[in-house]
Amino acid sequence: MKKGELRKQEIQEKMAKHILTNGLQSGSLRSLAQAAGTSDRMLLHYYQDKEELMTEVLTQISDNLITILEQARTVPIPFNQLVPHLYQLIKNPVVKPYIQLWLELIARASKKEEPYYSIAKQIGNSFIQYCSELIQADDEEKEKLAPLTFIIVEGIAMLDAIDFEPNINKALEGFSDFQK
Amino acid sequence: MKKGELRKQEIQEKMAKHILTNGLQSGSLRSLAQAAGTSDRMLLHYYQDKEELMTEVLTQISDNLITILEQARTVPIPFNQLVPHLYQLIKNPVVKPYIQLWLELIARASKKEEPYYSIAKQIGNSFIQYCSELIQADDEEKEKLAPLTFIIVEGIAMLDAIDFEPNINKALEGFSDFQK
DNA sequence: TTAATTATGTAGCAAGTGCTACATTTTTGT
DNA sequence: ACAAAAATGTAGCACTTGCTACATAATTAA
């Protein structure tokens, strides 16, 4: 039970990296196996089926993202500064692959496809929680501003996906105009 | 050239309906053919390949959406009223399938996958244009508020995909607080 | 009417999918 | 050292994918 668990962890990390780089679409057992230096046969030895595999891999990816976000944490800042700050964050090359994967996850989750739907909900909650911790405001306000932050950042991520940066910048101008 | 063109149009409409209901994932030639009451063989008779087919079908779907939006048009209203109005619109059962498809489109577009990337850009521009026409403001402000509206509505659509309505409503409260 | 064009059917290929059966080697606990 | 358990290899199945070859029937243009 020693060597096996370790090997599984190794393999899982490589699969997570591969999914993060190449997306859910290239997540067939065979290509995952190749990326992890093993065979599809072995993957189904470590995991009961593909759904279990994806659940564990995506959970790990999600945990990795949380770690990254924790490291990039600042002291709580006002809402109007938080949005541009998070925009910078999701443009960061380290974070960007996660956002791209998030878009894929949402697309599948919107059809209630498992395990994607459950995982997406979990990640969504984590991110709202994260926003909440970063906002400088009282609790009642946080409860409104955290989801609002999440919404705006997600919307920005979508525009970014189709290379609409000029529009994003215009929108951010409009956003800060509004704070007056 | 008479009967053929007509039949193609018929088939294309049925395919559009099918894609709208079942998403891009269920867009194999065989399932599209079945939905259209023909064979994959015939689809490749009318279209050079799958990419051409998808381009035409998605363009048609996009045109249909524009028509629906035009019919739901109001007189220009202020920005802070427009967002809730558009939220109601995307919850409309007629519109919702389009939004769901849009999420799928964005996921593929974010990888620059064709023809999805090009079509997504085109639809994105249409929607920003549509927002712009609905905002009651001067031109300079419109240029900022239209993309901002688009961002917020898209963000809301994503939360909606994972059934986060309570969070959406909280966010909208926060949003209207801000207008003061 | 005849010749050319267009429409449609039937079969199949090569590649990819998740997964399984059956075997053998390797590791582990005793 | 030995038996139980875990790891790994090799083949394959049944299915889906986009697409093609080869044929025949229907329509259109002359």
Tens of pLDDT along chain A (180 residues) come to 456 678 899 999 999 999 999 999 999 999 999 999 999 999 999 999 999 999 999 999 999 999 999 998 889 999 999 999 999 999 999 999 999 999 999 999 999 998 999 999 999 999 999 999 999 999 999 999 999 999 999 999 999 999 999 999 999 998 887 764
Residue A180 forms part of a structural domain: no
Task: Mark whether A57 and A136 lie in a shared domain.
Answer: yes
DSSP string, B37-94: TS-HHHHHHHSSSHHHHHHHHHHHHHHHHHHHHHHT--S-B-HHHHHHHHHHHHHSTT
How confident is the model over B8-18, as pLDDT tens digits?
A: 999 999 999 99
Task: Mark whether A104 and A164 lie in a shared domain.
Answer: yes
Residue B79 forms part of a structural domain: yes
How confident is the model over B72-109, as pLDDT tens digits?
A: 888 999 999 999 999 999 999 999 999 999 999 999 99
Which residue's entry shows tokens 């209901």? B21
Domain end (from B28, B47, B66): B47
- Report whether B123 contacts A140 (CB < 8 A): no
Determine whether the distance from the CB of A3 to the nearest atom of strand D is below 7 Å: yes
Residue of B58, B40, B60 lying closest to B49 (CA atoms): B40
How confident is the model over B155-172, as pLDDT tens digits?
A: 999 999 999 999 999 999
Domain end (from B9, B26, B47): B47
Task: Mark whether B123 and B53 lie in a shared domain.
Answer: yes
Q: Is the backbone of residue A37 left (phi > 0), alpha (psi -120 to 50) or beta?
A: left
The packing angle between helices B79-91 and B165-178, to 10°, is 170
Its domain, for residue B25, covers 1-47
Give me the pLDDT at residue B1, please: 45
Task: Mark whether B66 and B139 lie in a shared domain.
Answer: yes
Measure the CA–CA gap between B69 and B127, rounded to whole angstroms: 9
Torsion sign over Cα A158, A160, A164, A166? positive
- Report whether B127 contacts B72 (CB < 8 A): no
Residue A124 forms part of a structural domain: yes
Task: Mark whether B15 and B37 lie in a shared domain.
Answer: yes
pLDDT band at B175 (very low <50, low <70, confident <90, very high): confident
How confident is the model over B127-157, as pLDDT tens digits?
A: 999 999 999 999 999 999 999 999 999 999 9
Say how many domains are in chain B: 2
Task: Mark whether B54 and B34 lie in a shared domain.
Answer: no
- Report whether A15 contacts A35 (CB < 8 A): yes
Q: Which residue of A has its CA nearest to B127?
A: A159
Determine whether the distance from the CB of A27 to the nearest atom of strand C is below 7 Å: yes
Q: Which residues of B touch A143 (CB under 8 A)?
A: 170
Task: Mark whether A66 and A154 lie in a shared domain.
Answer: yes
Determine whether the distance from the CB of B103 to the nearest atom of strand C is below 7 Å: no
Strand partners, B135: B77
User: The domain spanning residue A37 has which CATH number?
Assistant: 1.10.10
Residue A105 forms part of a structural domain: yes
Task: Mark whether A7 and A86 lie in a shared domain.
Answer: no
Q: Kindly determine whether residue A174 and residue B141, on different chains, have CB atoms separated by under 8 Å.
A: yes
